[in-house]
Chains A and B, each alone.
Chain A
Amino acid sequence: MKSEKLMTFKLLIWRQVSPTIRGKMVAYKVENISGNMSFLEMLDVLNEDLIAQGQEPIEFDSDCREGICGTCSLVIDGIAHGTQQKTTACQLYMRHFRDGQTITVEPFRAKAFPVIKDLVVDRSAFDRIIAKGGYVSVNTGNAPDANAIPIPKEMADKAMDVAECIGCGACVAACPNASASLFVSAKVSQYTFLPQGHPERKQRVAQMVEQMDAEGFGNCSNHWECEAVCPKGISVTNIARMRREYWGTLLG
């Protein structure tokens, strides 16, 4: 938390009034930006300025501002969540930018994520995919003792690695095909690692993949851009696992 000199930036930000009206990039300037500000706090400052000038503030999504809820969804300088690895936009700090730099800010773009307004997109497609099998079908009250089934630590850890997915959709925004494969494969893998997921293993992967296709997400063609932007560092090896699981269902 060292004090730094204050910075100035030129921002090019996507403005779009509504889903059907064509949007465009608009230039703004922000001054007196501290390196200890998060990227979203910098946008807060800009919005306060805009309101003071009687202009409409820029709509962008954010909630927890600590990298766990998956709400923020900005493409910064062409990269989903910006240049810092394993970092959501809300956890990106201005100390990573150069004074005087021009920064572009766009929404996550994909056919399956239509823009609602400015930088806010509709990601409800992810919920509809989860509804098709992103769970273990166990009603409340049915559970045996929690220690009844020992799970090797290594398996529990692997399951946790993929369960960390925050559902932000950066993987989709980064993919040239706008594929949701990393997102879906993380959920499929979690329940492949854990014995609790096994009874529904086949129908889960089949239904989730089918829904992913129905939502208009593209196919995976191994660009690995998803892994590069994933704030939780989820590995593309999960996509290979999902494919194996999926082909397994087709081959019986």
Chain B
Amino acid sequence: MILESKIPEVTLEKKWESYRNNCQIVSPANKKKYTIIVVGTGLAGASAAASLGELGYNIKSFCIQDSPRRAHSVAAQGGINAAKNYQNDGDSVWRLFYDTIKGGDFRAREANVYRLAEISANIIDQCVAQGVPFAREYGGMLANRSFGGTLVSRTFYARGQTGQQLLLGAYGALMRQVNLGKVQLFPQREMLDLVVIEGKARGIVTRNLVTGEIESHTGDAVVLATGGYGNIYYLSTNAKNSNASAAWRCYKRGAYLANPCFVQIHPTCIPVSGDYQSKLTLMSESLRNDGRVWVPKNAGDRRQPEQIPEAERDYFLERKYPTYGNLVPRDVAARNAKEICDSGAGVGETGRAVYLDFSDAIQRLGKDYIQDKYGNLFDMYAKIAGEDPYQVPMQIYPAVHYVMGGLWVDYTLMSNIPGLFVLGEANFSDHGANRLGASALMQGLADGYFIIPYTIGDYLARAKLSKISHEAPEFQDSVRQVEEFVKRLMAVRGQKTVMNYHRELGLLMWDFVGISRSETGLKYALDRIADLREDFWRNVRVSGEANTLNKQLEMAGRVADFLELGELMALDALQRNESCGAHFREECQTPEGEAQRNDKEYSYVAVWEHLDSGKQPVLHKEPLVFENLVPSQRSYQ
């Protein structure tokens, strides 16, 4: 089995142009003959559905929310990167490319990342034209701020609600196509299977979350934009309904899953305060522009923060990384926070927190300035923590936020199953082993607005697609399997709730497949996950009926899938016996305690293939070739 990445064989700067010049195009008259299924309406899905609808394709757009506008991209706070160099501070496509590859610790494809950097500027143009109210300077020009892992200001933002504003822009574009009859909306539908006919993705099977009906939908291609699987940890910054099921069911139908162990732990979240907690709330990384991270120098110093004099504070990021200071990449900041808390210097009631202090910035720039820039984040913090961050430092701690791993795709964003395209967080392609802040929004919109419209045309123009219907045995078979899965879940009638299992799995994943991993821990996790999965199918209790709105049932299906995915994540973390980016193996550290990569043995994408009937999945390796950059030990000192 050869993994064909289909990267055009020209120089880096010419690859995307060359692809666009040479790809096949479906004629305007023929586009209306094709139906494309787009699953998910976040930034990637909504922008893809809208752009493909504009081109003339018929689109069926699916989401689990009651409205496409509520997809989880809405919660992204800080901003979106683009190599505009409006600040004249030395930014360029090359520098954004370089920062992204380096930030990802040299575990991403050069070609994909370069294309992303090239497209970044178009995204800002497009969004401004849609009426996205980005922050502006008094002269009327767009404002920028800095994010971690960069030395330039290239992040565009709309207060602390950039994701919301970009999503509403894409949602507006999508609803316009609904109004024009090019997009048909299917809200409150959960994709539970991919239908592959004659080797090509030809449809999906969904559950109508209101009526419980199992439905089949045919199409000429399937675009999956269903986000990431961070909710496997139970506590994460993801929305409650974010899940892995659509992607996981594709994996079980033969789509390859790449680098599943690459999970981003975000350094600045509001700490856990109790067992009942249902989610963790992010405090945007942009806060690290003006906030300073510190703990008391003396572990166990229980004084109030304002009573601790300057000389007795340890600004540990500034101390260890003088060049980047508080703006080191997320993985570095998160690991340092964990280590300092492990050493006993953590603050707050549980000792699992560090301070993020704005008093210097407020003194220097004034409260109004800080309020204008971060007002909604400060309000959110005050509501949750019950403390005023203008008066006392915030307490923050790392939490699971984003997954770099995802379904494997080639340069055209197509998986190994022809006709199945994967966009946004659901694919693995651009962020390597660690994503830089403000790059998720960039990737989602690059994939949806500017890449898929070209690459899907090329596929459809070449593919020989036979006529199919819901009556095809593959559809019938798939519907039957989904119905059986639902019946099995309802039939267990055990003692433990779905949430019990989810929490237990989450803790296992956090402890052993979290910020740091070790061989013994991973092996232990593998055993425990298998036990837990067995117990789940013996003893879970799903209340209510299957033929109505039933959120317990929805969650039960997702947790059942998480219980399988967790095992693959641990297996992947185990085989990658190196540290890189967010994947930190305790066995592999530099003398300074930084991640120690091993390029000789692990400069590859780990690509997993599912095998039926309980066999171990097969690992394929796509070698990463660096023709333009020399992989180096990351240093942010």
Contacts and interface: CB of A to CB of B under 8 A. Distances in A.
Interface of A: 1-3, 18, 34-38, 40-41, 44-45, 48, 50-52, 54-57, 59, 61-71, 84, 86-87, 91, 93, 95, 116-117, 120, 122-124, 126-127, 130-132, 134-147, 149-153, 156-157, 159-160, 163-164, 166-167, 190-191, 193-194, 196-197
B385 A151 contact: no
Given A68-B74, A117-B548, A143 B129 contact: yes
B453 interface: yes
A84 B54 CA distance: 43
B172 interface: yes
3 interchain residue pairs of minimum CB distance = A150-B140, A135-B172, A143-B129
Interface stretch (B194-202, B270-278, B293-301, B464-472): B270-278
A43 to B, nearest CB: 10
19 contacts: A38-B278, A54-B543, A57-B552, A61-B66, A64-B72, A66-B279, A66-B281, A68-B161, A93-B383, A127-B175, A138-B130, A139-B54, A146-B125, A146-B128, A153-B138, A157-B133, A160-B135, A191-B131, A194-B133
B175 A140 contact: no
A143 B573 CA distance: 43
A131 B179 contact: yes
Nearest to A37: B276
A156 B348 CA distance: 39
A174 B126 CA distance: 36
Given A36-B386, A151-B140, A167-B67, 18 more contacts: A1-B387, A38-B384, A41-B277, A44-B499, A62-B240, A63-B72, A66-B279, A67-B383, A69-B65, A69-B74, A69-B75, A127-B185, A134-B175, A136-B172, A138-B126, A139-B54, A141-B450, A163-B168
A95 B453 CA distance: 50
Contacts of A137: 176
Contact of B380 (A3, A66, A71, A152): A66
Given A69-B239, A131-B175, A190 B281 contact: no
B368 interface: no
Contacts of B185: 127
Nearest to A55: B543
Interface in B247-271: 271
B276 A41 contact: yes
A63 B239 contact: yes
B239 A64 contact: yes
B551 A59 contact: yes
Given A93-B383, A140-B51, A153-B138, A127 B69 contact: yes
B403 to A, nearest CB: 17
Contacts of A123: 66-67
A163 B126 contact: no
Contacts of B348: 1
B126 A140 contact: yes
A160 B135 CA distance: 8
Nearest to B125: A143
A117 B386 CA distance: 33
B150 to A, nearest CB: 19
Interface string B143-174: 00000000000000011010011001101110
A127 B67 contact: yes
Contacts of B336: none
A150 B240 contact: no
B621 interface: no
Contacts of B210: 116
Contacts of B550: 59
Contacts of A138: 126, 129-130, 173
B572 to A, nearest CB: 28
B610 to A, nearest CB: 29
B349 A1 contact: yes
B473 interface: no
A93 to B, nearest CB: 7
Nearest to A60: B551
Contacts of B51: 139-140
Contact of A146 (B70, B142, B387): B142
B544 interface: yes
Contact of B278 (A44, A126, A141): A44
B221 to A, nearest CB: 18
B18 interface: no
Nearest to B385: A1
Given A63-B239, A143-B126, A191-B131, A134 B543 contact: no
B453 A140 contact: yes
B517 interface: no
